[in-house]
Structure 1
Amino acid sequence: MKHLRIARGFSLLELIIVLFIVAVIATFASATFDTTLKRARQQSALSELVSLINFARNSAIQEQKTVTLCPLTPIKKCGSDWNRPLVAFRDPDRTKSITNESQILRVVQLNVAGHMAGKTGIRNYFRFRPSGLAEEAIGNIVWCPEDHDNRYAAQIRINMGGRPFVSKDSDNDGIVEDAYGNPVQCT
């Protein structure tokens, strides 16, 4: 009587093909996950910033006091490093500094991977009058991901009315434009 041998397992060729297919799927999944993660970080930063700007403006209106929004230096004066904690505080004398802790309305440290730059002309702050207007302190804040990929950059503009606007990609090139129609650049 002849013995039949039953093959068990995979051949080397089958194993290589399966591993190749798994590697291709993992590559696409990884790229999609990376994009999703960058968009989520961008949206989180935008949401926190818009919320803080609206809070500062509304506080100025409700309290009928000037409110300043800026990154603070260790000596509690407005500084230019927008990656430091951002502080909204009562600033009735317009000194751009905190002399008493009771002036502080809200402190926000963005915990999303990225960098911010405030473009406020000659100023390093945004200021809201009791009317809510930000006439003399307008500008924008640009958020960029850690890898400085312009496709994931975001910009919030603050107009004279003190309202924040999130920049859009109007020409569909994948990069948002500033107020002049130029692509926002991560530097």
Structure 2
Amino acid sequence: MKEDIVSMCIKTLKKKQRAFTMVELLVGIAIVAILAAVALPSLKTFTVSMRVDNEISELHRLLLIARNTSVNSGQDVVVCPIVNGSCTDDWSQEVSVFIDFNQNNDFDIADDEIIRVKSAISSSNDQFQYSNGAFLTYNSLGNLPINNNESTFSYCPYGYTDASRGIIVAVSGRAYISEDSDGDGVDEDRNNVNITCP
């Protein structure tokens, strides 16, 4: 009886030690390859979408800080990319918020005060543009100057134009993040015009 139990245990152990056959291994590899081929494009799109959302959110926070600073300080506050001490229209660079004490819409080291700096965009191939040129100024009431119209910041990731997003700044100074209002998968501004980078 003991010998029967021992032989059954030995047979059970032998069955558990069985390895994969070559066919089973190849089928497993094929399944993993198919799943990877399906998942990788979605992962790339997700990564691009997250990069765009991060840049837009960071700029939106920067605009909120600029507007609040203008109201609290009672001074003009400028948002612009500063290169070699001057505002430039290359918005892919670092973007600075500063109190413009002399109201010349340009950064003067001796006179103006930097409040916050946003780092340059992470992808050199992406486009980041502002419809009104080299700077955005908030007056002491937190509004845009009288001669300004509603303006738009646009962020367009390279090769993924449908993932473009923007921030619309109204004359009142309020900043609105673009939305896909018509359900076509592309963000629009408040006039239902697709966000693009010409």
TM-score with structure 2 length normalisation? Answer: 0.80
Structure 2: gaps spanning 5 or more residues: 1-14
Any idea what the Cα deviations from partners look like across 1:95-132, whole Å, max 9, x if unmatched?
Answer: 12222265211111144333311111xx4211101000
The whole-number CA distance in structure 2 between the counterparts of 1:112 and 1:127 is: 25
* 1:70 alignment counterpart: 80
Residue among 161, 176, 180 paired with 1:169: 180
Question: Match of 2:159, as an amino acid?
Answer: H
The whole-number CA distance in structure 1 between the counterparts of 2:113 and 2:75 is: 11
The whole-number CA distance in structure 2 between the counterparts of 1:148 and 1:53 is: 27
Deviates more, 1:147-156 or 1:47-56: 147-156
* Contact 1:50/1:156 (<8 A) preserved: yes
Map 1:26-175 → 2, pairs under 5 A: 26-74=36-84, 76-100=85-109, 102-113=112-123, 114-120=126-132, 123-135=133-145, 136-137=147-148, 138-145=150-157, 147-175=158-186
Question: Match of 1:125, as an amino acid?
Answer: F
Give the aligned CA root-mean-square deviation in angstroms. Answer: 2.2
Question: Match of 1:19, as an amino acid?
Answer: I
* 2:8 alignment counterpart: none
User: How many Å apart are 1:178 and its aligned residue?
Assistant: 2.6
* Contact 2:52/2:165 (<8 A) preserved: yes
* Contact 1:157/1:165 (<8 A) preserved: yes
Tell me the SS of whatever aligns to 2:87: coil
Any idea what the Cα deviations from partners look like across 1:31-76, whole Å, max 9, x if unmatched?
Answer: 33222212221221111100100111110000000011111121x2
User: How many Å apart are 1:186 and its aligned residue?
Assistant: 3.9
Q: Name the structure with the higher helix share.
A: 2
The whole-number CA distance in structure 2 between the counterparts of 1:47 and 1:110 is: 14
Structure 1: gaps spanning 5 or more residues: 1-5
Any idea what the Cα deviations from partners look like across 1:7-42, whole Å, max 9, x if unmatched?
Answer: x65444433322210111112332332222122212
* Contact 1:72/1:79 (<8 A) preserved: yes
Which structure has the bigger radius of gyration? 2
TM-score with structure 1 length normalisation? Answer: 0.84
The whole-number CA distance in structure 2 between the counterparts of 1:186 and 1:158 is: 16
| % identical aligned pairs | 25
